[in-house]
């Protein structure tokens, strides 16, 4: 068993055992050669110092400090930079902030030049990804970008054009590929256990802690995030593209805001709502930023700089994204995907069924079986903190199960090993490929590392789905003119 440092995860997301383990099962962690003694460390800058940046900051000051170093920050909010700069200073063994150079987005090119930046890690608001990726590549740096690659067809065209004209590298961080349960399904399909894939049914449900969080934040405005069909579902569409090794050709979508938002709250007679979660008690849909030191430092203490509130009421006016979505996707080789996403479920997880010419594979994942409320009526995100709430859920226990059944045979369960880090045990393994891929001993038979083309393929479904929502018609992906052939 190999030990690894714990990895940062969104505090509202479920944290099952696979996300907190520091030891992976046998065969899960790839083999990498040690760096040679005189190898220079790669120089990284972080663009966007919100919560998600924490995973990369921790990696470059921890497990991967021997191959990379942080050299600069880029963010319009100085308080968020202060938080991470202090974290780096502490990681380096000091009692003071690291004092790394800081820049605003307008100075991206100057930052890359002055600090000799090799790679820019883009963890900013989704709508800024295309610009930051484009400008970074043209200024002479490679890019590591959080999902989604971008939010619309224009962003895809801008990035694909920059890659073609500069020849530089873009790494997509699709961490769900590295979750052992998802890797196991990929192996089942690739090995031909169920024959040629004819169809996939994929249902994902977000609970009323994690799901509601997208309606508190900047994600609630489609102009910022592309909606959940882009921001969240790009993870899921990438998994399907990767599982069946195919590309989307035609998309039809249906969806609406049916649970969150002021109109729905009024229709259900919810009454007056708090303007924000911080300071609110007895409301399970509110988030008090003071309950999490990172959120308090990154957002509550930073909001006087830009006015951004991380704890908005999910039933307030102004929400322009959907919370119930259904998508039908035709793939180029003939398979079909039926997909649904619900953001107000009482439990969180997903179900995948893959039908093939020789059988069927079924993956069921429960990431959080239910949400407990404390005596004050507030939701309990971490049941282990409340003794009575930590009892096992006997009806819907957390865990996963992968079952394969060939035609004319009995169902068989596939053993899935433990992973390490968040997102189903995949984060820590992803980071190895991000920061050490040139040291990998042998190719990955599952092809988990993702580049910009994988990012385009994933958002292509969401972008086409958004267009279908507007027109009520199916959308051919090639008509979006994303700047590069998907096949």
Instruction: Judge: domain 176-260+319-480, CATH 3.40.1360.10.
Output: no
What pLDDT, in 10s, does the model give residues 268-316?
999 999 999 999 999 999 999 999 999 999 999 999 999 999 999 999 9
In this structure, of 15-29, 151-165, 242-256, the range with the lowest mean pLDDT score is 15-29
Q: Give the start-to-end residue ranges of the domains of the chain.
A: 17-174, 176-260+319-480, 262-306
- Walk across the sheet containing 142-146 and list its strands: 102-103, 68-74, 42-47, 119-122, 142-146, 170-173, 450-451
What is the C-alpha separation between 236 and 202, in angstroms, rounded? 8
Q: Is the pTM of this model over 0.75?
A: yes
**159 has pLDDT over 90:** yes
Residue 114: pLDDT band by 50, 70, 90 thresholds? Answer: very high
Q: Report the interhelical angle of 452-471 vs 233-244 (nearest 10°).
A: 120
Residues whose CB falls within 8 Å of the CB of residue 249, separated by 6 or more in sequence, listed in order: 329, 330, 331, 332, 476, 477, 478
Alpha helices in 43-115 (DSSP H): 53-60, 78-91, 108-114
- Burial of residue 55 (CB within 10 Å: 0-12, 13-18, 19+) is buried
What pLDDT score does 4 carry?
Answer: 45
Percentages (nearest 5) of helix, strand, coil residues in the chain? 35, 25, 40
**C-alpha dihedral sign at 157, 245, 326, 286:** negative
Mean pLDDT of 85-108: 96
Residue 326: its pLDDT value, please? 98
pLDDT score recorded for residue 288: 96
pLDDT tens, residue by residue, 183-197: 999 999 999 999 999
DSSP character string of 324-385: EEEEEEEETTS-EEEEEEEEEESSEEEEEEEEETTEEEEEEEEEE---EE-TTS-EES-GGG
* Residue 422 pLDDT grade (very low, low, confident, very high; cuts 50, 70, 90): low
On the question of pLDDT at 2 being above 50, the answer is no
pLDDT of residue 451: 97
Which residues are 405's β-sheet partners?
Answer: 360
**Whole-number pLDDT of residue 10:** 73
Mean pLDDT of the chain: 93
Q: Kindly tell me if the per-residue pLDDT of 391 is higher than 90.
A: no
pLDDT of residue 12: 85
> In whole angstroms, what is the distance from residue 445 CA to residue 430 CA?
15
Architecture of domain 17-174: 3-Layer(aba) Sandwich (3.40)
Query: What integer pLDDT is reported at residue 21 of this predicted model?
Result: 53
């Amino acid at each position: 068993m190999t030990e690894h440092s714990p990895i940062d995860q969104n505090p509202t997301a479920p944290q099952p055992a696979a996300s907190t383990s520091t030891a992976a099962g046998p065969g899960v962690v790839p083999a990498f050669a040690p760096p040679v003694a005189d190898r220079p460390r790669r120089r990284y800058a972080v663009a966007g110092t919100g919560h998600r940046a924490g995973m990369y900051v921790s990696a470059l000051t921890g497990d991967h400090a021997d191959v990379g170093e942080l050299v600069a920050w880029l963010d319009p909010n100085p308080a968020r930079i202060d938080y991470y700069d202090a974290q780096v200073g502490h990681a380096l063994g000091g009692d003071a902030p690291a004092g790394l150079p800081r820049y605003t987005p307008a100075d991206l090119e100057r930052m890359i030049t002055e600090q000799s930046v090799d790679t820019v890690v883009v963890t900013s608001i989704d709508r800024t990804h295309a610009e930051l990726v484009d400008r970074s590549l043209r200024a002479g740096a490679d890019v590591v970008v959080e999902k989604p690659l971008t939010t619309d067809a224009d962003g895809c065209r801008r990035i694909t054009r920059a890659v073609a004209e500069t020849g530089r590298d873009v790494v997509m961080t699709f961490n769900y590929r590295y979750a052992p349960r998802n890797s196991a399904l990929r192996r089942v399909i690739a090995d031909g256990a169920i024959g040629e894939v004819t169809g996939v049914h994929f249902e994902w449900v977000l609970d009323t802690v994690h799901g509601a969080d997208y309606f508190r934040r900047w994600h609630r405005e489609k102009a910022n995030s592309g909606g959940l069909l882009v921001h969240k579902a790009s993870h899921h569409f990438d998994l399907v593209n990767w599982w069946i090794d195919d590309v989307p050709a035609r998309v039809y979508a249906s969806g609406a805001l049916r649970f969150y938002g002021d109109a729905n709250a009024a229709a259900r007679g919810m009454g007056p709502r708090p303007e924000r979660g911080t300071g609110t008690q007895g409301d399970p849909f509110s988030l008090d930023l003071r309950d999490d030191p990172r959120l308090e430092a990154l957002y509550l203490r930073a909001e006087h700089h830009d006015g951004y509130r991380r704890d908005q009421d999910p039933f307030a006016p102004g929400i322009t994204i959907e919370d119930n979505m259904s998508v039908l996707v035709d793939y180029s080789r003939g398979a079909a995907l039926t997909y649904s996403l619900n953001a107000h479920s009482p439990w969180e997880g997903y179900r995948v069924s893959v039908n093939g010419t020789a059988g069927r594979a079924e993956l069921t994942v429960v990431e959080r079986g239910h949400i407990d409320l404390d005596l004050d009526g507030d939701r309990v995100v971490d049941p282990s903190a409340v003794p009575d709430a930590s009892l096992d859920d006997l009806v819907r226990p957390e865990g996963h199960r992968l079952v394969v059944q060939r035609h004319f045979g009995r169902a068989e369960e596939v053993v899935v090993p433990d992973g390490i880090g968040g997102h189903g045990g995949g984060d820590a393994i992803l980071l190895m490929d991000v920061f050490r891929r040139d040291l990998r001993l042998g190719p990955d038979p599952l092809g988990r590392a993702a580049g910009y083309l994988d990012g385009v393929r994933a958002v292509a479904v969401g972008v086409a789905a958004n267009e279908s929502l507007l027109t009520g018609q199916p959308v051919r992906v090639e008509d979006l003119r994303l700047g590069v052939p998907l096949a």
